[in-house]
Amino acid sequence: MRRKNGSGGWKNGWTAVLLAVLGVASAAVSGRDQAIIIDHHCTDIGKVPVKYIEKAKADFKVAYGHTSHGSQVVSGMNALQKSNPSLFAFGRSGEGLSFLDGTPRGDLGNPDRRTWAARTRDFLNRSGKDRNVILWSWCGQAGNASEDDIETYLSLMNHLEKDFPGVTFVYMTGHLDGSGKNGTLNRRNEQIRNFCREHKKVLFDFADIESFDPDGKVNYMELNARDNCDYRQDKVKKNWADEWLEKNPGHTIALPGGAAHTRPLNGALKGRAFWWMMARLAGWNGESAAGK
């Protein structure tokens, strides 16, 4: 089954068939009847029931492979932990969520586009046997990825899900790079999103979270926003994070002291989205009244 693609090369149609089969298989293994999509709608931490945060801390052991951009999530988590040490505790040891930061080493494109999967497999067969949630983030590699590169990523994730059915693998999109709605990055991110929706995956939509301020009314990605929250409007460079904080001096969002490559507000939103995700994995339907 082969067809000629738009660039004049040959694309193997069996890749799509394989991904579909593996996607159905991994959904069956997890028992999940719908995708869990963590995006800009998932940053209001006050809506998350405390009991599900507590349940997540008791039930899950997380390992998170990332380099600098991925550390934005951890910066936001640190800010939340500082604001409420008992509720949002996490770390390698002690009370709270068991969380191995930067383990395994690298990211989804560093040192190449496949090593992360081999390192995950080795980790889960050795020192990481107790882990039941695995996250990997991109640095800048999603923005220069081809469609086949992303299919490789999705296929490797599927194989890991099949081989380690007791582990939840979290998919991610790549960070904004200013290329806008029609740029390569957004096309590749849409490829990841569509796959996750269709095959009932867990997706931490890194790019969508940094496309919106906390009010959620403007999609800054479509205004060529970058990962540092800069965007352009009427040929004028602006920054949505700085603007929102200026308009909301009385906000109650716990901000980190800094976040790599971006503004603290962006890191804060990603940290909040992380705990929203953990509550969903713990059984929250995303709609319950907070505090119950």
Does the pLDDT of residue 9 top 70, yes or no? no
pLDDT tens-digit series, residues 238-265 = 999 999 999 999 999 999 999 999 999 9
Show the domains of the chain with their CATH numbers.
35-281 (3.40.50)
Supply the Cα-derived Rg of the chain in whole angstroms: 19
Which amino acid is residue 80, in one-letter code? L
Judging by DSSP bridges, how do beta strands 90-91 and 97-101 pair with one another?
parallel
pLDDT tens-digit series, residues 33-51 = 899 999 999 999 999 999 9
| Separation between Cα atoms, residue 121 and residue 112, nearest integer Å | 16
| Separation between Cα atoms, residue 269 and residue 215, nearest integer Å | 12
Mean pLDDT, residues 101-129: 97
| Separation between Cα atoms, residue 290 and residue 127, nearest integer Å | 36
